[in-house]
Amino acid sequence: MNFFDASALVKRYVRETGSSTVRRLLREVTPAISRLTEAEVSSAFARRRREGTFSSRQHARALAALQSDLLRSHVIELSTDVVARVHVLVARHPVRAADALQLASAIVLREAVGRVVFVAYDTRLREAARAEGFSLSPGRPSRSAGVSRRTRDELLPS
């Protein structure tokens, strides 16, 4: 199973370096995400709308696509078990609370289903996931994989 954090999943909706890889991975198996990812991706869309890189129409289409995709995803809820693991993870790794919640969600998933590939583009989160024993995808994201340099973001088709 592939677990996607927000830095990866947003690439499904916005054309950036890494978008084609993310879209391919999403087609291969049922994706797993933390409930937090839904909020983080929605926040990324809202930021793009405020900054003017998403039109109102693009924003609405991206939100609709996200909601549709959630119906086909395995969503790990922010349970007491997930939150309890954050204390250990933030002490062990230089990650923010939100990233620790992502990692804790993936750990809970791995305990339930076995092998999980961690799909992320955030460097610190990838390093923490590797230290926690996850295989990573993509193998080596490019240095420019995080940010689109376009004046207006191009919304990918659903």
Question: What DSSP string describes 30-88?
Answer: -EEEEHHHHHHHHHHHHHHHHHTSS-HHHHHHHHHHHHHHHTTSEEEP--HHHHHHHHH
Q: Is residue 150 situated within a structural domain?
A: no
User: Whole-model pTM?
Assistant: 0.87
Q: Is residue 151 situated within a structural domain?
A: no
Residue 139: the pLDDT is 74
Residue 155: the pLDDT is 62
Q: Is residue 156 situated within a structural domain?
A: no
Q: Is residue 80 situated within a structural domain?
A: yes
Q: Is residue 99 situated within a structural domain?
A: yes
Q: How far is CA 11 from CA 57, 66, 86, 125, 130, in A?
A: 18, 12, 26, 16, 21
pLDDT tens column, 52-87:
999 999 999 999 999 999 999 999 999 999 999 999
Segments forming the whole domain that contains residue 103: 2-137
Residue ranges for the chain with pLDDT beneath 50: 144-151
Count up the domains in the chain and report the number.
1
Residue 151: the pLDDT is 44
CATH code of the domain containing 46: 3.40.50.1010
The β-bridge relationship of strands 31-34 and 74-76 is parallel
